[in-house]
Each structure stands twice: as C-alpha cells, then as structure tokens.
Amino acid sequence: MRLESVEDLPDLWKETYDLVAQVPEGKVTTYGEVAKALGDVVASRFVGLAMSRNDDIVRVPCRRVVQSDGMIGGYTGGGPEKKITLLRHEGIRIRGTRILDFDKVLFTDFISNRPLRDLKARQLALRKRLSLGMLATDIRQVAGIDVAYEDDHAFASLVLFDYSSGEEVGRFTSEGDAKFPYVPTYLAFREIPVIRSLMRRVPGGTIVMFDGNGILHPEGFGVTSQIGVVFGVPTIGVAKKLLCGEVGKVSSDGVANVRLKGKTVGHAVFRGLGAKPVYVSAGHGLSPSQALEVTLKFAKRRVPEPTRVAHLAAEDARRRAKSK
DNA sequence: GCGACAG
DNA sequence: ATCTTGTCGC
C-alpha cells in the first residue's frame, strides 16, 4: 500500500544536500556518485542543479562535487577559479582545471537509504496493475493535460474535447508547488501531485492524453502509464522527444514503429516529410493500436490537439501569473 | 569530439 | 520545462 503511494515522496533536494554534507575536507566526489547514492545515476544532472541552488555553503560543501573525469566543473558561487582556490585550500591538488590523484581523493562512501531505488520499486509495484486492454467501453471525450513551470511552481491545465466532433467542450486549470524535481524516468513523481486536483474533473468515458511517454519507457511504465494506473483512467502518452527505443521504417501513412528490447512499444508519428515526429504510446486502459488511432484522429498538426491546447492553456496561466 | 535522458 | 527576436517557410 505504502509502496504504491505516489504521495509521501522523499525530499530529494534535502537528501542531496545531506549527502554532499558527508564529503569531508580533503576529499571530493562527483555528480554521478551523489546521484548513485540517491539511488540512480540518471539523477546526476539534478545533482548539478541542486548544487547550483545550494544556499548553505558552510553545511553543504558543493565545491567538493566535481565531474567524473576529474575535471573541476562549474561553480555558481564565483566560477571555476573560485572552486579551484577553495579546493586547493582544503589540500586538493589541481593542475589547470583537473584534479590530481583523483582516485586518491575521491569520496564515494556515502551513507544513504537510496530514495530513488525505493521510488523505482514503487513504480514497478504500480506497473503490476497496468492493463493494455480496453478499460473504457464508450469513449465520449478526450482530455489533454499539461503542466507549465515557473521555477518549481506548477500551472496545470485540463482541456476536454468531444470525441466525435473534436470540439473543445471545457477547460480547467490549477496551480501548486512541485516538490519533487525533474529526474528522467521519474517524471511521474514530479507531475502526478500537481495534476491530482485536475484529475478529479475528468468525466467518465474520457481518455486522457498526456505530454510524456506511456509504455515507451525503460521500465515500460512512463508518467502517462503511471497516471492511468494511479487514477484508474485510460491514458495515451505523446512525447516530443524520444526517451528510449529505436524508430523503425516510416510507412506511407507517416507512422513508424518504436521498438524497445525487440518489442514495439509505441509509434513515431510524422506529419509531413522531414518533420520531427511525436512519439505516441499506450498509457493504460487501452491497446497500442487504439492509442495510435485516437491520436491520429486528433492530429491536425504535429502535436495532437488535446495536448497542444492544454500546453497553451498551462503556459497562458503561467504567464498571467508572472505578469501579475 | 560525439552522444546524451520524457517534462 | 525555461531562457529568447527576428525570420524562414508552408
């Protein structure tokens, strides 16, 4: 039960700062090592972001976090020169912008409960409830949902379309703080909390289209699948960039299979020659072919209407709040 | 230097 | 995702 919850999330920012606080004077570590201590190397860029936002350089020695190749890396509090000066003062030997005896001064012995490993386990637990069979019998509406950010303040919007006419029939927005950062393949933990209130407005007989992948994901369980399972609604994932997998040969209708580990897990939809595709995959509660069919029905442009309009609405809410 | 990981 | 002006093209 607790395992499957998407609430009660770890404070990844705090955990990161606590880890870096463990690096002793005279030692350095790397963004990737801190990420591994968090539970997954994919978070290494987030570690860099967290260091750049560090506001307590006494407790959290972000100067001691460097690149995995021994290069010094950047330093928000005064540039690389400042970082070099500070580290030399701590006994680290540096030539140019490279650390000498890197293996001797590298600290990796973190004490950590690896929060991302737990989140991955929650993801896998939720995945057991994934179904790619027909969940909704009669589809009356398609909803597009998207989130825009002003730093970590989120503006989410839901736009409803009538399935047969394709006309917009309603829209809602909400806002709140995103407490969890963006980490590739953990997107659901960032976005599910901020769309929760909107999901209550999704009528029965609605397919939800979301900006992000469904089963086109390293674990076969992207943000859109997780949303589908958590809220018990059929979902379709539409991503603008490829997260993983390989795109096959484009057929005459402008559609190509996307394969992962030998299986077709989604489709690249090209609108026009030489154009960038969008990557469509089933989220939950419907079949891959049904996901493609519904998407094509709303694909007047590159990005299908529900997701495209929801994006505009969320962006609109963000800009209105900003200028206020 | 290239490739690179949704939003 | 966000930071950003004008500009090229269907």
Scanning every strand, the nucleotide with its C1' closest to A244's CA turns out to be B5
CA angle A296, A301, A303 (to 5 degrees): 75
- Is residue A62 annotated as part of the catalytic site, yes or no? yes
Dist. CA A99–CA A102, nearest whole Å: 6
Residues A84 and A33 in one domain: yes
Residues A108 and A157 in one domain: no
* Whole-number Cα distances in Å, A258 to A152, A155, A219, A226, A250: 32, 31, 15, 20, 10
Residues A97 and A212 in one domain: no
Residues A103 and A184 in one domain: no
Q: Which residues of chain A have pLDDT under 50?
A: 1-4
Structural domain includes residue A256: yes
A224 touches strand B (CB under 7 A): yes
CA of A43 to C1' of C5 (A): 34
Residues A162 and A286 in one domain: yes
Residues A293 and A191 in one domain: yes
Dist. CA A27–CA A24, nearest whole Å: 6
Domain at A22, CATH number? 1.10.10.10
Structural domain includes residue A310: yes
* A256 close to A273: Cβ distance less than 8 angstroms: no
Structural domain includes residue A244: yes
A211 touches strand B (CB under 7 A): yes
Residues A56 and A147 in one domain: no
Structural domain includes residue A45: yes
Nearest to A215 by CA among A183, A193, A245, A191: A245
Structural domain includes residue A294: yes
Structural domain includes residue A60: yes
> Among A72, A102, A124, where does a domain finish?
A124
Residues lining strand C at under 7 Å (Cβ) are: A 148-150, 182, 211, 240, 315, 318
Nearest to A269 by CA among A261, A278, A260: A278
Report the pLDDT value the prediction gives residue A183, as an integer from 0 to 100: 94
> Among A99, A124, A149, where does a domain finish?
A124
Report the pLDDT value the prediction gives residue A1, as an integer from 0 to 100: 42
**Domain span at A113:** 12-124
Residue reference for tokens 């209550």: A200
Report the pLDDT value the prediction gives residue A2, as an integer from 0 to 100: 45
Under 8 Å CB-to-CB from A213, ≥6 apart: which residues?
A222, A223, A224, A225, A237, A239, A243, A266, A279, A281
DSSP symbol at A181: P
Report the pLDDT value the prediction gives residue A4, as an integer from 0 to 100: 47
Predicted confidence (pLDDT) per residue in A202-216, tens digit: 999 999 999 999 999
> Among A124, A145, A161, where does a domain finish?
A124
* A87 close to A71: Cβ distance less than 8 angstroms: no
Looking only at the bridges linking them, the beta strands covering A94-95 and A141-150 are: unpaired
A153 touches strand B (CB under 7 A): no
Give how many domains chain A has, as a whole number.
2
Predicted confidence (pLDDT) per residue in A242-280, tens digit: 999 989 888 878 899 999 988 999 999 988 666 788 999
Report the pLDDT value the prediction gives residue A6, as an integer from 0 to 100: 55
